[in-house]
Amino acid sequence: MTLPECDGVRVFVYGTLRRGQRNHHLLRRATFLGEARTRPIYRLVDLGPYPGLCDWPENGFAVQGEVWQVDPATLALLDALEEVPTLYRRQSIELQDDFGEVQAYFYNAPFPPGLPTSDRWPMPQSASDER
């Protein structure tokens, strides 16, 4: 019998945990399973140094990220980094690709109004920002 908790869980990362981003080293014991996109029912809100994933059932975006198989010790590190359950909560996310049960860190605190949203992070510079 396989006990899923012994293998850890699959986590969809979309922000500072992605390859090339500043917290990625925390995934050094994790296994990369592939790039993925969510169903278009979420958005990333740009909080500056990091993004926040939130439900956006109407006019949502297919958010880009990566799926990793994460062992329980690493998961505990990630939960501490993301200040679960205060700043973020970890819950199931719906992807377009079939990775089975996958969880992600959803932003759990109130957003200041008027922040930009996107399907990816870092967000592409808007045309008006280009110099």
Q: Mind telling me the catalytic residues?
A: 82
How is residue 5 written in tokens?
């908790």
Which of 75, 71, 88, 110 is closest to 15 using CA atoms? 88
Site residues (CB under 6 A) for ligand PCA, limited to 97-116 = 105
Nearer to ligand PCA, 8 or 51 (CB): 51
Exactly one of 10, 27, 50, 68 binds ligand PCA (CB under 6 A); which one? 50
Exactly one of 8, 9, 10, 14 binds ligand PCA (CB under 6 A); which one? 14
Point out which span in 8-16, 35-43, 56-64, 122-130 binds ligand PCA (CB under 6 A): 8-16
Residue 125 DSSP label:
P
Nearer to ligand PCA, 110 or 127 (CB): 110
CA distances, 120 to each of 2, 14, 73 (Å): 35, 7, 27
Nearer to ligand PCA, 50 or 61 (CB): 50
Buried b / exposed e across 114-129, counting CB within 10 Å, b at 16+? eeebbbbbeeeeeeee
